[in-house]
Amino acid sequence: MITHRSYTVEPWAVRETALNLDVLAQSESVFALSNGHVGWRGNLDEGEPHGLPGSYLNGVHETHPLPYAEAGYGYPESGQTVINVTNGKVLRLLVDDEPFDLRYGRVVAHERVLDLRRGVLERTCEWTSPAGSTVRVRSTRLVSLTQRAVAAVAYEVEAVGSRSRVVIQSELVANEQLPSGDGDPRAAAAVTSPLEQEDHFAGGTRLRLVHRTRRSGLRVAVGADHTVSGPDRTSVRAESDTDVARLTVTSVLEPGQTLRVEKLVAHGWSGTRSLPAMADQVDAALAAAAHDGWQGLLDDQRAYLDDFWKRADVEVDGDEEIQQAVRFALFHVLQAGARAERRAIPAKGLTGSGYDGHAFWDTEMFVLPVLTHTAPEAVAEALRWRHSTLDEARARAAQLGLAGAAFPWRTIEGSEGSAYWPAGTAAFHVNAGIADAVLRYTEATGDTEFEREAGVELLVETARLWRSLGHHDHHGVFHIDGVTGPDEYSAVADDNTYTNLMARQNLLAAADAVERYPAEGRRLGVDAEEAAAWRDAADAVHIPYDDNLGVHQQHAGFTRYQRWDFDGTSADQYPLLLHFPYFDLYRKQVVKQADLVLAMYTCGEHFDDEQVARNFAYYEPLTVRDSSLSACVQAVVAAQAGHLGLAHAYTAEAALMDLNDLEHNTRDGLHIASLAGTWMALVAGFGGLRRHGGIPRFAPRLPERLSRLAFSFRFQESCLRVEIGPDKATYTLVEGEPLTLHHHGEELRVGLDDPATRPVVPAPRRPVPEQPTHRLPNGG
């Protein structure tokens, strides 16, 4: 794990058995805790040493001007970046006047464990100071999944071998110094001292700081309360100033005696609420947390996760690393969205500042499908956030001369934050991804209230964009020209197949929605003529195909481009975007990430098995996977095409993206979409899950390395357990009403006392396609 021997492979935990300062920043991302509202990176309790300090509140950002060499019409004027808010996890320790700092003295033992079932980060350390005093430190940290504003730490110090004077300084710290950027465009732009102090308080065992961001005008309040237990004469003193509030706890410990501090931290932010209201808000959250106490928070966390794992766990026999990785992935995907509650789910979740904390199309196309079948309540909230930003999306469409809504390529608060035109403004497929997420969610849950209140409007406004963006030619064929599809090495292309097929689905779904909900349609001004125009465009949409090669084109004319010189490209020239000009990438047959291959997964009903096999064989040698979003999609379609060994290798790449730091940027935060893709690769790849026609469809097949795959799957009011072996698959209804499903095309109906077992259809034997030079799967 992270290529260090000190990381072990376990089914329900990520364990670090020794501290490695050279991968400290990466481990801080791996050990991050979040609930979708509050995020704490896995920094050491004492605050230093650190790789990247990180305490985040979802939606709290600072704005900054976007620089252009030459400004152009429609370019966004300002960008947004996530900021490091007041840090409440710091507990500094002094032992006989020596700071507890693991860079000095002697570390006798150090272990950290991310417990995936209990939802806590535990740490044990034995350290001898330069002066010879030895202490044992134990800490447990959580970010509550049941009380969204609350995080907590229990910190305990024990004297070992000799009497020690111990001081614990529990702090709230604002405007922490951040490391400077390294020039990598994927890393977040640092914002220096973004918080202006408004109020500070310290009294008894309580602390509170209130600040406001300088440009975006968001008010942030963080408060802490403490329970202290230790020997007689333990003393406590509280103080506060502009950017620091501190509780100092002093005691003298005899060998074997302990000093324990339980720290509850509450967070709040608002763009409208007053300073007194924000102070009261965090005080109230602290009071609620104190009512349950530390043990109550632990018990609630375990109960929440017990319920989640009961309906979300994936069991993998035959590959211990993937077994650990898929549970790690599900845990972090849950953390990213569980309590986001009408906020975005950023590409890094709340684990780091990479990509400036922005949300992209990743959310709807990779993360929400997993949550739809494991934690659907989080999906409704994420889509309601998109719905709340419709005004900004409508304004953006109008600015671009289009009807409907143009959702941003990257954003925190709803406005476009991308300064890059071809891969940002032209990537309209984000609209279709949002519509697809609406369809997936409503189909899987039957949530008509959401559909009526938010879903119909999202479908209508995205459909309006497609109808105005595209056009009918003189033969009546509908084209969508000048767009960027998922492959960012092919920009401003005509008739991107993925975009066209997803737009087609969007247009038909909108027409169906206003037919089901005529009152909503009238409210939105949709008449029969407009709905008919959507259907006409959908029926006539152009899907480029090369008759000579017998393959679908990624976009019109793609297969006539010159092929990239893969043999002349060295291994250290990847990712290509950092070593070659975009104009050269745009005019060659080279694919950054699955595009046409993604279309075969998301819109699979438009491709037969032979087309899937031919298309995959053609695009596989062109796809360089310079995006973490690619491996999981290639795993799914490789499995469908019968290349099960290759699918296993791509599954491992997606699964180990962060645990093995495959892209060398885990320090900036986890790749939440790639983590979600681990579930996708296993469930949609080897489980063969598809959703055509509103019925779950499975076509399970296992690679040789795996002897068994089992997963639970929520659909409507039912929970289905699927267990796959080399020769047979069993479908068992765990709860809910009888469910109709397909197994390799055969319709089955399973009830609570009526499981179904069917043989696995062997995969067809086909030559395994090659990958570009130097681009073998990182997992195989």
Q: How many helices (H) and strands (E) does the chain have?
A: 19, 34
- Give CA angle at 102 (97, 106), nearest 5°: 85
Hey, what amino acid is at 779?
G
**Nearest CA to 101 among 50, 152, 142?**
50
> Helix/strand/coil (H, E, C) string of 152-169?
EEEEEEEEECCCEEEEEE
Q: What is the torsional sign of CA 130, 135, 136, 141?
A: negative
How far apart (Å, rounded) are the C-alpha atoms in residues 649 and 688?
Answer: 17
Q: What are the residues facing 55 on neighbouring strands?
A: 40
SS3 337: helix
Catalytic residue set: 488
Strand order in the sheet with 33-34: 33-34, 38-40, 55-57
How far apart (Å, rounded) are the C-alpha atoms in residues 395 and 415?
Answer: 9
Instruction: Give the number of other CB atoms < 10 A from CB of residue 749.
Output: 12
- Give CA angle at 382 (29, 657), nearest 5°: 30
Contact assessment for residue 714 and residue 309, using Cβ atoms and an 8 Å cutoff: no
Q: Is 617 exposed, middle or buried (0-12, 13-18, 19+ CB in 10 A)?
A: middle
Would you list the DSSP string of 200-269? EEEETTEEEEEEEETTT--EEEEEEEEEEE-STT-EEEEEE-SSEEEEEEEEEE-TT-EEEEEEEEEEEE
**What DSSP state is assigned to residue 374?**
T
**Nearest CA to 33 among 338, 286, 282, 288?**
338
Residue 482 tokens, joined? 């000048």
